[in-house]
Amino acid sequence: MYIVVTGAAGFIGSNLVRALNERGEANIIAVDNLTQGDKFRNLADCNIADYLDKRNFLAALQAGEFDGAVDTVLHQGACSDTMASDGRYVMDNNHRYSMALLDFCIGEEVPLIYASSAAVYGAGSVFREERSFESPLNVYGYSKLLFDQAVRRRMGEASAQVAGFRYFNVYGQREWHKGRMASVAWHFYHQFRAQGRVRPFQGSGGYADGEQRRDFVSVEDVVKVNLHFLDHPELSGIFNLGTGRAQSFNDIACAVVNACRQADGQAALSLAEMQAQKLIEYASFPDALRGKYQHYTQADIAMLRRAGYDEPFLAVEDGVGRYCRALLAQA
């Protein structure tokens, strides 16, 4: 029996494959789209049974070639570009593909654990897994919401687990390939190493410079939650996956700068000291993001806690610091 991981060469998918390997599991079908060929690097240190292009996998699935052969599907594959303008591609890639997997999993009584997104909440101020708070700002968020709604409608048909996670702002190892969609921590780290400064956005949405706030969650914690549900197939539903704590972009900037300074044998600085020394300078808020930007997010994780996940989440100071030290070691 196979564990199927879609988006396996991507950010969260490859971290899940690696975590499964650490548990001794290598009977994994890795599914992805390697049009960006360098993504293979995320799987180079992993052990898998086979790799299939996402189109070939779907065709094989619908032809019945995997009937009776799949133990669990960890569905992480998606177009995650919140600025994508080709809605037809996003809906086909994110919604229709996910619907085909849902059909298979319900029909075969196979657990489905999948990635949703906090983008479903749009510019709202309440982040609770209820329809009244869901109003996406872009087609990416809409594609995720539409699938979540389908899961809600069909949950009664499923005799096996169906669990979706609304990821908040995830950062960590194996995201190098994501370009402009990589985490703020990744961008700030590379800004500081290249320019000796980081550049959060100037004030917007009623927040001062760099004080826009997001729920930043380490990929380490994201993997732990996925594995918790893998170990508890009786748990189904749609759950927020964040820390439950909003922190500022300035907090990320300070964690990055101080991690890099520590590696160079320098003392930690406060935000005010970094600003005075121009280690933090603020970039103009992009016109392209006006009306499409979440200035504040904070996961309500009450449902996740009620599902029995009681582990603490890494704060930015710890998680981003650890991430930067790993990047420095690799460099």
Task: Calculate the CA 77 to chain-centre distance.
Answer: 11
* Average pLDDT value for residue range 229-241: 98
* Average pLDDT value for residue range 299-326: 97
Instruction: Note whether 170 and 222 are within 8 A (CB).
Output: yes
* Average pLDDT value for residue range 240-255: 98
- On the question of pLDDT at 83 being above 80, the answer is no
Taking residue 328's Cβ as centre, other Cβ atoms within 10 Å add up to 15
Reported pTM: 0.95
Instruction: Note whether 168 and 214 are within 8 A (CB).
Output: yes
Closest among 78, 71, 76 to 13, alpha carbons compared: 76
Q: Tens digits of per-residue pLDDT, 85-126? A: 778 888 888 899 999 999 999 999 999 999 999 999 998 999
Share of the chain above pLDDT 70, in %: 98
- SS3 letters for the chain? CEEEEECCCCHHHHHHHHHHHHCCCCCEEEEECCCCHHHHHHHCCCCCCEEEEHHHHHHHHHCCCCCCCEEEEEECCCCCCCCCCCHHHHHHHHHHHHHHHHHHHHHHCCCEEEEEEHHHHCCCCCCCCCHHHCCCCCHHHHHHHHHHHHHHHHHHHCCCCEEEEEECEEECCCCHHHHHHCCHHHHHHHHHHHHCCECCECCECCECCCCCEECEEEHHHHHHHHHHHHHCCCCCEEEEECCCCCEEHHHHHHHHHHHHHHHCCCCCCCHHHHHHCCCECCECCCHHHCCCCCCECCCCCHHHHHCCCCCCCCCHHHHHHHHHHHHHHHC
* pLDDT number for residue 108: 96
Query: Which letter, b or e, does each residue of 108-137 get, where b requires 16 or more Cβ atoms within 10 Å of its Cβ?
Result: bebbbbbbbbbbbbbebeebebeeeebebb
What residues contact residue 183 under an 8 Å CB cut-off, 6+ apart?
Answer: 169, 170, 171, 172, 175, 216
Angle of helix 184-195 versus helix 316-330 axis, rounded to 10: 50
* pLDDT number for residue 289: 84
- On the question of pLDDT at 237 being above 70, the answer is yes
Q: Tens digits of per-residue pLDDT, 170-197? A: 999 999 999 989 999 999 999 999 999 9
* Average pLDDT value for residue range 248-272: 96
- On the question of pLDDT at 79 being above 80, the answer is no
> Distance between CA 113 and CA 10 in Å, rounded?
16
* pLDDT number for residue 136: 93
What residues contact residue 296 under an 8 Å CB cut-off, 6+ apart?
Answer: 125, 205, 207, 212, 213, 214, 246
* pLDDT number for residue 61: 93
Q: Is 140 a catalytic residue?
A: yes
- On the question of pLDDT at 51 being above 90, the answer is yes
* pLDDT number for residue 92: 83
Taking residue 237's Cβ as centre, other Cβ atoms within 10 Å add up to 18
Angle of helix 11-22 versus helix 219-231 axis, rounded to 10: 60
Average pLDDT value for the chain: 95
Expressed in angstroms, the distance from the first to the final Cα of the chain is 38
Q: Is 178 a catalytic residue?
A: yes
Catalytic residue among 2, 51, 54, 178: 178
Catalytic residue among 97, 114, 121, 140: 140
- On the question of pLDDT at 81 being above 70, the answer is no
Q: Tens digits of per-residue pLDDT, 265-295? A: 999 999 999 999 999 999 999 988 887 788 8
> Distance between CA 140 and CA 135 in Å, rounded?
12
